[in-house]
Amino acid sequence: MRYFLELSFNGKYFSGWQIQKNQISIQETIEKCLSLILRKTIPIVGASRTDSGVNALQMFAHFDYFRVLKKKTFLKQINFILPSYILIKNLISVKPKANARFDVISRHYQYRINIYKGPFSSNYFNFPFLNLNFGLIKKAVFLLKRIEDFRSFGKDINCFNKCKLYSLTWKIRNRVIYIDIIANRFLRNMVRRIIGVCLYIGIRKINLLEFFLYVKSKTRLLDCPSVPAKGLYLVRIIYPKNIFNF
């Protein structure tokens, strides 16, 4: 049988989702706890390979097990032995071929920026520029939503680069900028680089013509900024309903 785990985590305490040599990863931590409870080596596949420091309000991973699991008992056991930085919120029975990574319809990330010093400033990225030009940022977003080749914003310009950007919005609430970005998939480092470039446009360090030529060239500029990971949250993942055993 195949199961989906719905979980959340604080990325501050991990080197990222994916297993890495001599590093503490979220994937390895969960796999060890699963194997301890189920008394069998249990590999898992995550919906997204988040970088070191990135947080998740909602994340999914799938695994296979030969027996029917009782959800309440399972959740109680695994959350008891997991570190407090990871919470398994749900255990969901899915179709045998359902895939937590490749069946995703959309991924929703949110980036949070402090524009004033405050008691929770350390939780988000501090960017104390009060003169951000949101009109220029809006024009940059207009251009971004009309491209599919995002190699300029990825870690590896030679990887598969086609993405569909569904939404990119900027809002200010309680002295914090909330940037929501939704797409079918993201290249590695793509979200943080897009936000970094938009911030540079907003403070007029990059003009719109330079930005247009930068995107059109399909190359990565050396001075193209990438914002820190600590303000980034994976907020929501959407799957087709037909993969669940409802």
Residues with active-site annotation: 51
CB 2 within 8 A of CB 96: yes
- Residue 31, H or E segment: helix 26-38
Q: Return the H-helix or E-strand segment holding 81.
A: helix 71-81
Give Cα 141 to chain centroid, integer Å.
19
Q: What φ, ψ does residue 224 adopt, rounded to 5°? A: -75, 120
108: left (phi over 0), alpha (psi -120 to 50) or beta: beta
Closest listed residue to residue 5, CA positions, set 96, 81, 74: 74
- The residues that bridge with 154 in the sheet, in sequence order, are none
Say which DSSP state 75 is in: H
Q: Closest Cα to residue 27, out of 57, 49, 3, 6?
A: 49
**What span, in angstroms and rounded, lies between the C-alpha atoms of 82 and 77?**
9
Q: What is the DSSP letter of 243?
A: G
Q: How far is CA 78 from CA 32, 33, 56, in A?
A: 10, 7, 18
> How many helices (H) and strands (E) are present in the chain, helices listed first?
5, 9
